[in-house]
Each structure stands twice: as structure tokens, then as C-alpha cells.
Amino acid sequence: MRYLDPQIETLPRAELDKLQELRLLAMLQYVYDGNGLIREVWDAAGVKPSDIKSLADYRAKAPFIDKDMIRDYRDRNDDPCGGLRIADYRDIPHVGFTSGTTGDPTPVPNGKGSATEPEILREFWQIGARGGDYVTYMMFTFRGGINRTSFLNEAGFTPILSPHDPAMLPQMIEAIETYRPTILYMLSTPMMIGLEKFFETSDKDPREVFKSVKGGVFGGEPMSPRFQKLAKDWGIEIFDYTSLGDVTGAMECRAHNGFHAWEDLALVENLDPDGNPVPDGEMGELVVTALSDPWAPLVRFRTADLVKFDRSPCSCGRTHLRFWTLGRAGDQTFINGTAVLPRDIQAIVEQFPETKAALFQIIRPQARMDLLRLRVGYDGLTDSQEALAARIASKVTQVLGVPSDIELVPAEELLKLGPPQKIPRVTKS
């Protein structure tokens, strides 16, 4: 069987829309009654849940929230959950934290039946894991870092648990050789750097170590071309993974052509800055509404993630739309009018042996500048620092057509800037 939940995963578009409408209408009043931020925002906009009788009403009338509004509500009301919590604290099994990449971490209540659980199970099944399998579970901070693992046990998996910490990799590799898991969940840039270092100094053959692995899930940021090649050399099929606007996760399928957004768990929109829908294939902002979150649902949350959508059927047979992440709206830097995103830099920096880990930051006091300032982490030197900086700057000019200033720092200094799954790619200083 190709799908864990064939009926839902291949639900025809018209039925999927109907299911979303049913779930949305069933939850709006409950959310409005219990969620202080939504009540405040909807009252200010003069909209009541009873005004919403269809998906079209919702798209036309529902006001937006964003991260700043959540933080502002939190500070004004001394409410750690920013007004989003609707469940009683006694009913909340776990509170985790968002990664805080774009500011201070936000607490996220979650628990049994959270949208992340069916999402992870559908992905594991799709990769090829079945009941009785071991899976590695090296979770980072994603949406509270789903600390619960009992849902994996209930599905018949035995998780091998470890913090998302490269220092734990030697023990994890030993566990992989002992228990032969079918899934590596999850890899990230720092974990790939750690694995590469491990195999450089070990006599173990990575293909032998990973021979039971049917798929490695990679998240935090897009995987760089060099790490993609490395994973392939190790015999690991990589499945890119991303956050669906903090509602749940989203992973590639075997077609490796975009992330599937589970539309029974989240209502997703791609909108322009004025709130109008962006046609499929064009870039806009991901806006999400949780359809299955009894603790702290996000309702029309502007994520600031730049995405493209594709609603055409996927070759894997799933009907849920696919999307591509293009960066964070706030991460776009304009150098003399040319837009530069971190992923443009990644492919350049990793071409040099001294900076192959692609550890870098764009230093950007404001979005528009006339010089691209980069802080780049290096490990070892083949000539002088000045010569390396000049080689990188020359490549940046050649590929992107913008002038740059390169500041070199030891790679381990940059890695300390965590969170554990990535370093902030854009910084003010």
C-alpha cells in the first residue's frame, strides 16, 4: 500500500475543499470564544464567526494575524501564549518553543492528536517505514519540537531518541548499526557537517552504516547541493522537510517535486501584500489556518514565508497541493536593486574547500544596501584569509552581479549562533 491514509491522501480536490470548509466552520466560534488574540482582532475588524458561512466568506472577510501581533498581545496581557491558547492548562500535555530564528522563541502548547502526528506518520509510511521498524528521532525545536513520542509507539515504531546535537552522532551511529532503523529523522546542516567530520576520521563505510535507511528527512533550511551529493554518496535518499507555517510539518514525496501541504490539517493560502490570492506558480506569502489544533490554533496567520503553489495532481497520486519555499520575506536583501536571498549565497560559499560547510550570514542593517556584506565561516586555509575573501567576493560578483565585502571567521564561532538546526542567515550586525 502506497499511502498510510489513502482516502485522505488522495481525496479529490472538490471533496478536500468541502472537508476544509466543514472543519473551519466547526471551529471558528470555539476559537473566537477561547482565543483572546483572535477575538480582539476580529472585533476590531467588525467580523463575527456567524458572518462566515463558507470558505469564500472566510477568504473575503477573516482578518489576518502575524508574529508581531502575537508578541504584542503577549506583552500587553502577560500571556506567554500570545492569546492563542484556547485549552485549559490542565488539558495541555506539553509546551514547547518555536526556534526563535526571527526573534524570541514563542511557547507552543501541543499534545495528543496535534497536526504534526498524522503528518509525521504519513511521511514515515511514504518513505517505507512499517510497524516493527526502528526510526531515529533527533528532533529539533520545530513547533515545540514535538516531544511526545507515544504516537510513534502506537503506530508500531520504536524511536531511537537523541537530542538534535552533532556531539551525539557517534552514539547515534552506533545505535544505527545495532538497531538498523529505516528512517533518519531529522538531519540538518549542522548534523551533516557533524556526519561528514565523523566519516573523515573514522574507518567506517557510510554506505554500510546507513544500509537499512530508506530515507533521511532534512530540515531547517534548504539542503545545499554539496550536502545533497554527499547524502547520495552515502546511499541516503533525502526527503526535504519544512514547517507549514508553524501549523505542522510538510515533506517531499518520492517524486521530490515540492512539499505536500496536508490540506485536511491546514487551510493554506498564497497571498500578495494586499491580501489578494497569488496564482499558482507565482511567488507570494504563505498564510495558514490550523484545522486540527485544539490547543492554540493559528487563524489566518501571515507566516512571512515566500512560497509558490501547485494544485495540479502530483505523480505520486496525492491530491494535496505542493509548495516550494523561496525564503523569508524579511530575508530579501536588495543590493543596488538586485534581490538576494540566502539560498543564492549558499551555492556560492560551499564551492570553496575552506568554506564548504556553507556557514554564512548576510549582515544587513537595512533591507536596501549598495554592498553585500557577508560573514563566512572557514575551516582551514589553503592560502591567506585575504586571498580566500577575494576569491569569494569575485565569485559573488560573477554569479550575482553585486559587489560584496567578505568577513571571515572560524566556522565553530558561527555554529555557536544556533538554534541547533541552523544559524540565522540574515543579521543586523
314 sits near Zn ion (criterion: CB under 5 A): yes
Q: How many other CB atoms are found less than 10 A from the CB of residue 390?
A: 13
Q: Which stretch binds Zn ion (CB under 5 A): 250-258, 335-343, 382-390, 401-409?
A: 250-258
Q: Which stretch binds Zn ion (CB under 5 A): 176-184, 192-200, 312-320, 420-428?
A: 312-320
DSSP H or E stretch at residue 72:
helix 67-77
Residue 35, CA distances (Å) to 38, 280, 318 in order: 6, 32, 33
Looking at beta carbons only, is 45 or 255 nearer to Zn ion?
Answer: 255
316 sits near Zn ion (criterion: CB under 5 A): yes
In sequence order, what are the beta bridge partners of 251? 241, 260
Distance between CA atoms of residues 218 and 233, nearest Å: 16
238 sits near Zn ion (criterion: CB under 5 A): no
Distance between CA atoms of residues 361 and 37, nearest Å: 34
Q: Which stretch binds Zn ion (CB under 5 A): 44-52, 81-89, 146-154, 315-323?
A: 315-323
Looking at beta carbons only, is 85 or 318 nearer to Zn ion?
Answer: 318
Looking at beta carbons only, is 176 or 268 nearer to Zn ion?
Answer: 268
Q: In the bound complex, what is the minimum distance in angstroms from residue 320's beta carbon to Zn ion?
A: 8
Distance between CA atoms of residues 168 and 198, nearest Å: 11
Distance between CA atoms of residues 104 and 121, nearest Å: 30
Q: In the bound complex, what is the minimum distance in angstroms from residue 245's beta carbon to Zn ion?
A: 19
Count of residues touching Zn ion (by CB under 5 A): 5
Distance between CA atoms of residues 84 and 31, nearest Å: 9
Q: In the bound complex, what is the minimum distance in angstroms from residue 2's beta carbon to Zn ion?
A: 10
Question: Among residues 26, 45, 60, 255, which is the contact residue for Zn ion, using CB under 5 A?
Answer: 255
- Residue 263 has what DSSP assignment? T
The CB-based long-range contact list for 12-16 (8 Å cut-off, 24+ gap) reads: 12/319, 13/311, 13/319, 16/263, 16/264, 16/319, 16/320
- Contacts with Zn ion in 277-296 (CB under 5 A)? none
Give one DSSP letter per residue of 330-363, joined into a string.
GG-EEETTEEE-HHHHHHHHTTSGGGTT--EEEE
Looking at beta carbons only, is 126 or 346 nearer to Zn ion?
Answer: 126
CB 164 within 8 A of CB 419: no
Q: In the bound complex, what is the minimum distance in angstroms from residue 262's beta carbon to Zn ion?
A: 12
Q: Which stretch binds Zn ion (CB under 5 A): 180-188, 248-256, 388-396, 414-422?
A: 248-256
Question: Among residues 169, 231, 253, 345, which is the contact residue for Zn ion, using CB under 5 A?
Answer: 253
Q: In the bound complex, what is the minimum distance in angstroms from residue 238's beta carbon to Zn ion?
A: 15
Distance between CA atoms of residues 108 and 178, nearest Å: 35
Looking at beta carbons only, is 16 or 316 nearer to Zn ion?
Answer: 316
Q: In the bound complex, what is the minimum distance in angstroms from residue 219's beta carbon to Zn ion?
A: 18
Residue count (the chain): 429
CB 423 within 8 A of CB 359: yes
Looking at beta carbons only, is 318 or 425 nearer to Zn ion?
Answer: 318
Build a one-symbol-per-residue string for 177-216: x at contacts with Zn ion by CB under 5 A, - elsewhere: ----------------------------------------
Strand residues in 98-155 grouped as ranges (E): 107-110, 134-137
Q: In the bound complex, what is the minimum distance in angstroms from residue 311's beta carbon to Zn ion?
A: 12
Q: Which stretch binds Zn ion (CB under 5 A): 238-246, 253-261, 280-288, 368-376?
A: 253-261
Cell of 116: 504534526
Q: In the bound complex, what is the minimum distance in angstroms from residue 323's beta carbon to Zn ion?
A: 12
In sequence order, what are the beta bridge partners of 340? 333
Q: Which stretch binds Zn ion (CB under 5 A): 13-21, 59-67, 247-255, 407-415?
A: 247-255
> Strands 338-340, 65-66: parallel, antiparallel or unpaired by DSSP?
unpaired
Q: Measuring CA to CA, which residue among 57, 3, 62 is closest to residue 319?
A: 3
Q: Which stretch binds Zn ion (CB under 5 A): 46-54, 200-208, 288-296, 317-325?
A: 317-325
Give one DSSP letter per residue of 382-397, joined into a string.
SS-HHHHHHHHHHHHH
Looking at beta carbons only, is 109 or 258 nearer to Zn ion?
Answer: 258
Q: Which stretch binds Zn ion (CB under 5 A): 81-89, 249-257, 325-333, 378-386?
A: 249-257
Residue 379, CA distances (Å) to 123, 185, 411 in order: 36, 27, 6
250 sits near Zn ion (criterion: CB under 5 A): no
Q: Which residues would be at the binding site for Zn ion (CB under 5 A)?
A: 253, 255, 314, 316, 318
